[in-house]
Amino acid sequence: MKYTDHALNILTAKTFKNIGNSWIAEHLNYKQDLDVIVDLLSKKTKELVNEKIFQSRKRQIEQKLEAMSNYCDGLVAIGDEKFPNYRGNVSGADRPVALFYKGDLSLLHTDNLAVAVIGLLNPSSHENDYTIENDERTIVDALVRNNATIVSGLALGCDRIAHHQALITTKKLHGHTAGATVGILPCTLAKIIPKECHNIAQYMVENGCLLITEYYEEASSVMEQSSRYVARDRLQAMFSDAVVLTASYTQQSVDPNSKKIDSGSRHAMEKAEAYGIPRAVIYHPKYNNNPKFDLNRQIMGNKKTPTTIINPDNPQPDIMQLLESISLSKSKQKSSTAIAQTLF
């Protein structure tokens, strides 16, 4: 398993109280000597900290990392050469500071076109209803044919469909699946959640794709696991050039055909809007009365933030419009970065 001493220091720093991602992004975003790290921590944490205590915790974490070598290729941290850049304008609190990965980490490079495709856990209204799934597959197929790597959360339903179709289309086009898709996990690499997605996750990492996560320890409670799902959603936005919503309820949705109203996709869509990352929704008039598209309609009605509407019956013109939005967004970000560099 590959990792730097700097990355190990960041994981160790995070074990101290009051030390979060925002603090680390500000103070440990480059390699620091141990005495400097301890001094910085002592000014922030309420715990006793000295070099001996820090080194003891560091050794414990290193032992845990070494035990992960069978299912994790490496760890990268903010300040490491290979730590991936974010898309959009991401605040300090939202920035991940350490990522565990299995597979081809270069797929997160900003030169690579990455499009997140997300949605419901239960896209079918009843058995043998594949309308939403078929529309999603059409869109994913078109995106891949336009050289996009598909990003999703490896959940059941729309996420798994997105990963699967990306693999299928890439295989058809190139004879292999390398670079097809990236899975962003709310769990450790050792224990894929949900277990039904373990096989596709395994196939992805064995065939040139990528899995990433912020976690190397299992959640200690149901509440902590729930928070990890929400945290995962922000990564889907910041590591994608655009986020495409297949279908989703809102929190107010009512669906007599579904026992569970799943509105988790809103988190990723909200983060994309906050970061200035282009958004798109799949929509067709046939879905006008379908509550599974309540969030799509809500986003379409938001006039403050332009959203690309993709017609599944003829997706190519809309996808070209989305790609133009991505190009414009990247140009703005490059200009902002250039201005910031001249100021500092």
Which helix (DSSP H) or strand (DSSP E) does residue 79 occupy? none
In the prediction, which pLDDT does 335 show? 66
Q: How many helices (H) and strands (E) does the chain have?
A: 11, 9
The confidence band for 344, taking pLDDT boundaries of 50, 70 and 90, is: very low
Cα radius of gyration (the chain): 21
Model confidence at 341, pLDDT cuts 50, 70, 90, reads: very low
Compute the average pLDDT of residues 262-290. 95
- 312: nearest Cα among 278, 272, 285, 292: 285
Q: Could you tell me the two tokens for 98?
A: 């350490």
> Residue 136: is its pLDDT beyond 50?
yes
Q: Which residues contact 89 (CB under 8 A, 6 or more apart)?
A: 275, 276, 333, 336
Domains of the chain: 5-83 (no CATH), 104-343 (3.40.50.450)
- pLDDT tens figures, 171-210: 999 999 999 999 999 999 999 999 999 999 999 999 999 9
**Cβ(307)–Cβ(318) below 8 Å:** no
| Beta carbons of 277 and 329 less than 8 angstroms apart | yes
Question: Residue 126: what pLDDT?
Answer: 73
Cβ atoms of 268 and 236 closer than 8 Å: yes
Per mean pLDDT, which range of 39-48, 117-126, 148-157, 325-334 is the poorest?
325-334
- The stretch 50-60 carries a mean pLDDT of 98
- pLDDT at residue number 109: 97
Whole-number Cα distances in Å, 182 to 46, 90, 164, 213, 237: 38, 20, 11, 11, 12
User: Which structure tokens are listed for 131?
Assistant: 């309308």
Cα separation, 334 vs 241, whole angstroms = 13
What is the DSSP pairing of strand 98-103 with strand 210-213?
antiparallel
